[in-house]
């Protein structure tokens, strides 16, 4: 294709139709084009390709971390969200990925769910659910948290998430600390949601599930701004508690210094 007789607009339209893996070839074909806008396009395409390669390498390291456990059989990553909020449940998820297919079916952009945008988490949650062998979500409500304490409930929700999988995993890895009294071989990884693909995926679907649940509560209790703070102690949330009192989803044991 003779790009030198093409306008910049036509070249850009052509580039937009390409797969990102074809950008280097196009950049090579355009390298002698002296037009400044074309040279800027080349730079942008190569930067996009570089960022994708870096992302592939980062995520591959996360899958490689999990591959060490593949000798046991099915591996489940487990993580929880909602340990610290003043309202709402604590939620945990367990995920079994098909690690044997990760080279051709790698899920890019997975990470600690807190490092991802709302839009990206929503997108990834759908992909993870579609590509995983199975997943399970477990929750414990605020009343049980008040009754048993958050430490007990944190352990219980992680255990329930792992044990509730349709396929019993042969090994479980959790984020941050071990799961007690789990009758499945297990271990844990500090900052595991940044190291393990399986834990990161569990972190994402747990976060999306809980955030969406809090958005539903926001419609019922609009004064507390749950759609934005998801139950955490933001200024608006605390002011609403002082003005309107507590709701049935508040953790009374977390509010001793507020009310």
Annotated binding site for a divalent metal cation: 79-80, 175
Tokens read off for 259: 């009310």
DSSP state of 80: E
| Spatial contact of 192 and 173, defined as CB atoms under 8 Å apart | yes
Q: How far apart are CA 164 and CA 162, in angstroms?
A: 6
DSSP state of 98: -
- Binding positions: 79-80, 175
Nearest to 244, CA basis, from 214, 230, 224, 228: 224
Tokens read off for 59: 């995520």
Q: How far apart are CA 30 and CA 21, in angstroms?
A: 16
Q: What are phi and psi of 98, to 5 degrees?
A: -85, 85
| Spatial contact of 87 and 109, defined as CB atoms under 8 Å apart | no
Q: List strand residue ranges (DSSP E) for 84-208, in order.
A: 90-96, 134-140, 171-175, 186-189
Q: How far apart are CA 54 and CA 41, in angstroms?
A: 20
Tell me which residue has tokens 């730079």: 43
What separation in angstroms does the CA of 94 have from each of 1, 127, 188, 197?
Answer: 50, 15, 13, 12
């Amino acid at each position: 294709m003779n790009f030198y007789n093409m306008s910049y607009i036509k070249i850009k339209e052509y580039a937009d139709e390409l797969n990102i893996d074809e950008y280097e070839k196009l950049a090579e074909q355009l390298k002698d084009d002296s037009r400044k806008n074309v040279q800027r396009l080349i730079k942008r395409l190569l930067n996009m390709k570089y960022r994708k390669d870096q992302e592939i390498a980062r995520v591959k390291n996360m899958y490689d971390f999990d591959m060490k456990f593949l000798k046991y059989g099915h591996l489940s990553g487990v993580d929880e969200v909602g340990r610290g909020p003043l309202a709402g449940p604590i939620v945990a998820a367990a995920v079994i990925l098909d690690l044997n297919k990760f080279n051709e079916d790698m899920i890019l952009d997975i990470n600690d769910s807190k490092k991802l945008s709302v839009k990206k988490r929503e997108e990834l949650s759908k992909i993870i659910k579609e590509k995983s062998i199975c997943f399970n979500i477990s929750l414990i409500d605020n009343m049980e948290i008040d009754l048993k304490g958050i430490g007990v409930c944190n352990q219980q929700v992680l255990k329930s998430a792992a044990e509730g999988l349709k396929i019993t995993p042969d090994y479980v890895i959790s984020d941050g600390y071990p799961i007690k009294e789990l009758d499945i071989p297990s271990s844990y990884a500090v900052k595991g949601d940044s190291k393990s693909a399986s834990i990161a995926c569990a972190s994402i679907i747990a976060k999306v599930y809980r955030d969406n649940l809090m958005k539903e509560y926001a419609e019922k209790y609009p004064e507390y701004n749950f759609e934005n703070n998801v139950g955490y102690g933001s200024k608006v949330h605390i002011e609403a508690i002082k003005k309107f009192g507590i709701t049935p989803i508040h953790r009374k044991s977390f509010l001793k210094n507020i009310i």
